[in-house]
Amino acid sequence: MTRALSWNDLEGTQAIKDVVAKRIPSWKDGLRPFQEQPIIHILKGKDVLLCNATGDGKPALFTVPILCHLEISDFPEAYPSLPAKSRPVGLIVTPTKELAGNIVTQLSEYGIVTLSYCHETLTAARKSGRNLTKEIAACKMYQVICVDPEHILGSE
């Protein structure tokens, strides 16, 4: 019987490094040491609150967990005992809709389907007859939703 692995195990941490090397080859040095533990916590379904300076690599904390889930869903035989969500969805709260737009662009480069939940996307969805709220709630279309504080509780 195969034992279930944890992201904390040597195999789990190696899998994270392998996914980064495969899916984000531009990150030649891989993850920074401070990024590994928060990513493991996120992959285990735990909440993480982390404050870092600009340029310290926060995007890895929301990029890598989604990529790990997608990689395992795409190639389950390569990671037979690691837990993964078949349809992962991440929520990123950003201070501005401009930053949300930048995140959408960046994550799209890694093949992550991302939506910036803002006035413009809501208006475009309405005009095309789509119900964006239902699409998001179905967890089938988007892998990451970016939202600024104005739209979390907004009536739009």
Tens of pLDDT along 64-91?
A: 999 999 999 899 999 888 888 888 899 9
Q: Is 52:60 a contact under the CB 8 Å cutoff?
A: no
Looking at the DSSP bridge assignments, the partners of residue 147 are 93, 117
pLDDT of 39 higher than 80: yes
Q: Is 8:30 a contact under the CB 8 Å cutoff?
A: no
pLDDT band (50, 70, 90) for residue 2: low
Choice between 111 and 154, residue whose per-residue pLDDT is larger: 111
128 vs 31: CA distance, rounded Å = 41
Looking at the DSSP bridge assignments, the partners of residue 146 are 92, 116
Mean pLDDT of 103-110: 94
pLDDT of 153 higher than 80: no
- Residue 19, Cβ density class (10 Å: 0-12 exposed, 13-18 middle, ≥19 buried): buried
What does the pLDDT read at residue 133?
86
143 vs 150: CA distance, rounded Å = 21
pLDDT of 18 higher than 70: yes
- Would you call 144 helix, strand, or coil by DSSP? strand
Which residue from 109, 113, 114, 122 is spatially nearest to 151, judged by alpha carbons?
122
What does the pLDDT read at residue 121?
92
pLDDT of 55 higher than 70: yes
Looking at the DSSP bridge assignments, the partners of residue 116 are 146
pTM: 0.86
What does the pLDDT read at residue 88?
86
